[in-house]
Chain A
């Protein structure tokens, strides 16, 4: 979004508690443009390192671009502390259960759609494990208008990778997807590998699901993260352009 220098701009961003799976209150960071709207919305699902500063920033970035953005703390039940300590605890517990994540994201969708300043059109975005969770939510919770999968690992899974918490490969729910999918990947990534991305694309094609996948050269896992050595500036800037264009096409209108 290009802002004119004399244009009003304001944003409200704060943490709150929103009912998630089984009605449990979980933390959520909500950022929204000031004004009556109506604004489209996006649920922003954090990555394996937790509900961290990067996710705060990205949530505000979506609000800056005109979306009501909600980032739930999927690790809320593990306790509280600095994000990486909480994430380390969840890592040791084998990750959060998929069913719980789906319930939490469904709660965010209900919450945002009930806001008077929301258009009712809601996308779901995630990176890394958050993209895997976004895929699951988009497939299992009816009502999302678009899915953005940024380098989601373990969307396709070997039977040996299935666990009690993750008992079904997300790709097995591809038939239930009812929204278009944007995929942003790096060809140097080891999770997902380009071969795994190809398998996912094959599954979407088989189900006739509209999608656009972008596989970036000289980019690995998490290449948007400016605080990691994997950061790739030009690929990241192009990736964000793809995201804004995709949202404008499927969610804003």
Chain B
């Protein structure tokens, strides 16, 4: 690993990979070398279920600007839902 900047959170939800939908239990967020994106480093998010093995993984690799837009977008959508009283927590 070249930066070792990685954090794991627990999540509840589902993700879709090559073999269809599966239950998500963790999300791993890192800033390190991507596997596919053409950057030296990327903001990587792996939605996984570790109990199902390494293949239970939905991966995204984003450049920094995209990652920041995604964070802002998620917060904006959640705020809008909250404002309309439809946020189920």
Of all chain A residues, the one with the shortest Cβ separation from B56 is A85
Proximity string of chain A (75-118) to chain B, C-beta cutoff 8 Å, 1 when within and 0 when not: 00011111011111111101100000000000000000000000
A15 is an interface residue with CB less than 8 A from chain B: no
In the complex, chain B residues 23-82 whose Cβ is within 8 Å of any chain A Cβ: 26, 28, 30, 32-33, 35, 38, 40-41, 44, 46, 48, 50, 53-55, 57, 59
A153 contacts B by Cβ under 8 Å: yes
> A82: which B residues are within 8 A, CB to CB?
54-55
- B residues contacting the other copy or chain, number (CB 8 A): 24
Do residues A79 and B54 form an inter-chain contact, with CB atoms below 8 A? yes
Instruction: Compute how far the CA of A91 lies from the CA of B7 in the bound complex, rounded to whole angstroms.
Output: 9
A interface residues, how many (CB within 8 angstroms): 34
- B residues apposed to A, CB below 8 Å: 1-4, 6, 8, 26, 28, 30, 32-33, 35, 38, 40-41, 44, 46, 48, 50, 53-55, 57, 59
Pairs of residues from A and B, 3 with the lowest C-beta to C-beta distance, nearest first:
A92-B28, A81-B54, A153-B2
A-B contact pairs, 9 of them (CB 8 A): A49-B35, A82-B54, A88-B48, A91-B30, A91-B46, A94-B4, A129-B2, A153-B2, A221-B40
